[in-house]
């Protein structure tokens, strides 16, 4: 089985997961922005990973514009974010991102990290605004991801966990 892992990582968590998957599978691992469809088409298995930003999976545009050329390939997706896993929230991400020809592709969630010092000015500003808005809510009205956002504050957190790739590896083997 010949495979490739394409990833888009702004702050390092997605790259870490992609590297772990590469170690376990022996697949080539490259940034999505360095990939071209002619190269990717040579592989039997495509693993695609991207961080979640404003409900979108980073780098997914490559797969969307290339999906017709990848028919017959095994495609497995993963995404990561700072929030703890919640089934309903994850299903919203999946339904928002995996439409039309991407619908039904296996997708997995891995928890990433939080480091406001490394964030772009735009990301940091949006996160601070969101934290301020959520802080106005009564604690019992907050969703799990909102509580996690407030708990993260401005501290650095790394929630990456190598065990999170096990379902991804299982999907690759199937």
Q: How many Cα atoms sit within 13 Å of 101 on the Cβ side?
A: 13
Please count the residues of the chain. 174
Where do the domains of the chain lie? 3-114+157-173, 116-155
Q: How confident is the model at residue 146, as a pLDDT?
A: 75
Q: How confident is the model at residue 132, as a pLDDT?
A: 87
Alpha-carbon distance of 127 to 38, in angstroms, equals 38
In this structure, are strands 45-53 and 56-57 parallel, antiparallel, or unpaired?
Answer: antiparallel
Q: How confident is the model at residue 63, as a pLDDT?
A: 94
For residue range 41-81, list pLDDT tens digits in order: 999 999 999 999 878 899 999 999 999 999 999 999 999 98
Give the ranges where 13-53 is alpha helix by DSSP (H): 13-25, 37-40
pTM: 0.85
Average pLDDT for 94-111: 94
For residue range 155-174, list pLDDT tens digits in order: 788 889 999 999 999 999 98
Q: What is the CATH number of domain 3-114+157-173?
A: 3.40.50.360
Beta bridge partner(s), residue 94? none
Using only C-alpha atoms, what is the Rg of the chain? 17
Q: How confident is the model at residue 151, as a pLDDT?
A: 78
């Amino acid at each position: 089985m010949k495979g490739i892992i394409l990833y888009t990582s702004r702050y390092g968590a997605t790259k870490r997961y992609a590297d772990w998957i590469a170690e376990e599978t022996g697949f080539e691992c490259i940034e999505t922005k360095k990939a071209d469809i002619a190269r990717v088409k040579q592989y039997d298995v495509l693993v695609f990973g991207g961080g979640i930003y404003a409900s979108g999976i980073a780098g997914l545009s490559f797969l969307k514009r290339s999906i017709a050329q990848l028919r017959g390939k095994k495609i497995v997706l993963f995404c990561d974010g700072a929030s703890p896993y919640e089934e309903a929230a994850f299903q919203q991400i999946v339904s928002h991102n995996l439409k039309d020809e991407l619908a039904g592709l296996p997708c997995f969630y891995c928890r990433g990290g939080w480091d406001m010092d490394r964030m772009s000015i735009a990301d940091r500003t949006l996160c601070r605004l969101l934290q301020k808005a959520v802080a106005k809510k009564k604690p019992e009205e907050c969703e799990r991801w909102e509580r996690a956002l407030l708990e993260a504050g401005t501290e650095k957190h790394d929630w990456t966990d190598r065990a999170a790739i096990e379902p991804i590896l299982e999907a690759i083997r199937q």
